[in-house]
Structure 1
Amino acid sequence: MSIINKLIEIETEPKINIYNITPQIQNFITSTSIKNGQVLVFSQHTTTALSINENEVRLLEDIKVFLQKLAPESDSYLHNDLHLRDVPEDEPINAHSHLMAMMLTTSEIIPIVDGKLALGTWQSVLFFELDGPRQRTVFVQISGE
C-alpha cells in the first residue's frame, strides 16, 4: 500500500466563504498511480472546516446564513476579550468563527474507486473559510494501491 501526501493552498476572501476543492483533490489522485483506496482531507486551522455537500450557489448562501445565526459575530464572547489574553498584535476578534467551525468538521475520508473519488452525484468536498481573508492549508493524504 502506498501513502502520498499533498498540501492544497487556498487564498480566501473576507468573512465566511465556501470553496469547492473537489477538482484539486481529484487532480491529485489522478497524478498518482493509486486506483483504489481512500483519501483523507484535513483542514489545518481552527476557524475553517470541511463538509461533503451540494455545491449549489443558493444552498451555499443558505449555509452561510445558517452558520451566522448559530454564532453571530455581534454577540459577546469571552475569547474576544483580547486585553485579557496574551495574543499577537494582529489577533482578530473571531470567537464566532471558532464556534461555527465546531459545528462542522475538520476532516473527511472519501473512498477512491478506479482512480476516482467515490462521491455521489451531487456531492462535492467543500472547504469553509469562517474568518477570512487568510492563506489556508488543507492536508490531503491518499492511501491505497
Structure 2
Amino acid sequence: MPIFNKILEVQTNEGINIHSITPEVEAVISSTPIQNGQVLVFSRHTTTALAINENEERLLQDIKVYLRKLAPESDKYLHNDLHLRENIPADEPMNAHSHLMAMTLSTSEVIPIIDGKLALGTYQSILFFELDGPRKRTVFCQVFGE
C-alpha cells in the first residue's frame, strides 16, 4: 500500500484561534494517486489540537468561550510555576491552560478518502486549534490507500 507524507504549515494569531485546514488537506490528497484510503492528520504540538466540526463563525466563537471555561488562563496551575521547573527556556510562556484545552480535544483525525475526495459530511471541516499563539505550527498529513 503506497504511503505519502506531507507537512503543512499554519501561521497562527495570538490566543485561541481556529483554522479550517480542509483545503490544504484536500490539496495534499490531490497531489497523490490515492483514490480510496485514508488520510491521517496529526498536530505536532502540545498546545494545538484538531477536530472535525462545522466551520461557522458564531460556532467557532462559542467553542472559544467553552474552552476558556474549561481551563481559564487566570486559574493557578503547577505547570506555570516556572521557577520550580528544570531546564526552562528564557521565553517559556505560562501556558498550562493551553495544554489542558489541547487534552480535551484531539491531536489527530483519520478521514476516509473515497474517489480521491475527503468523505466529510455536508457541514464538516478539519479544524486546527491554536491554543497558545501566535506561532508557526506544523501539521503532519499521511495519505495511504490505493
TM-score strictly above 0.5: yes
Question: 2:11 and 2:120 mapped to 1: Cα distance?
Answer: 25
1:103 corresponds to: 104
Question: 1:83 and 1:134 mapped to 2: Cα distance?
Answer: 24
SS at match of 1:89: coil
Tell me how far 1:95 sits from its aligned partner.
Answer: 0.2
**Percent identical residues:** 72
Question: 2:34 and 2:109 mapped to 1: Cα distance?
Answer: 18
Q: Structure 1: 5+ residue runs without aligned partners?
A: none
Question: 1:108 and 1:99 mapped to 2: Cα distance?
Answer: 19
Question: 1:93 and 1:134 mapped to 2: Cα distance?
Answer: 15
What are the within-5 Å matches in structure 2 for residues 83-94 of structure 1?
83-86=83-86, 87-94=88-95
Letter in 2 for 1:117: L
1:141 corresponds to: 142
Letter in 2 for 1:63: I
Q: Structure 2: 5+ residue runs without aligned partners?
A: none
2:117 corresponds to: 116
Aligned length: 145
2:30 corresponds to: 30
Tell me how far 1:93 sits from its aligned partner.
Answer: 0.4
Question: 2:64 and 2:25 mapped to 1: Cα distance?
Answer: 23
Tell me how far 1:133 sits from its aligned partner.
Answer: 0.4
Question: 2:18 and 2:118 mapped to 1: Cα distance?
Answer: 20
Question: 1:2 and 1:144 mapped to 2: Cα distance?
Answer: 6
Letter in 2 for 1:28: V
Tell me how far 1:98 sits from its aligned partner.
Answer: 0.3
Question: 2:49 and 2:97 mapped to 1: Cα distance?
Answer: 13
Report the aligned-residue RMSD: 0.4
Letter in 2 for 1:129: E
Question: 1:46 and 1:71 mapped to 2: Cα distance?
Answer: 15
Question: 2:85 and 2:6 mapped to 1: Cα distance?
Answer: 35
Letter in 1 for 2:34: I
1:70 corresponds to: 70
Post-superposition CA distance 1:47-100 (Å, at most 9, x none): 000000000000000000000000000000000000111200000000000000
Tell me how far 1:2 sits from its aligned partner.
Answer: 0.7
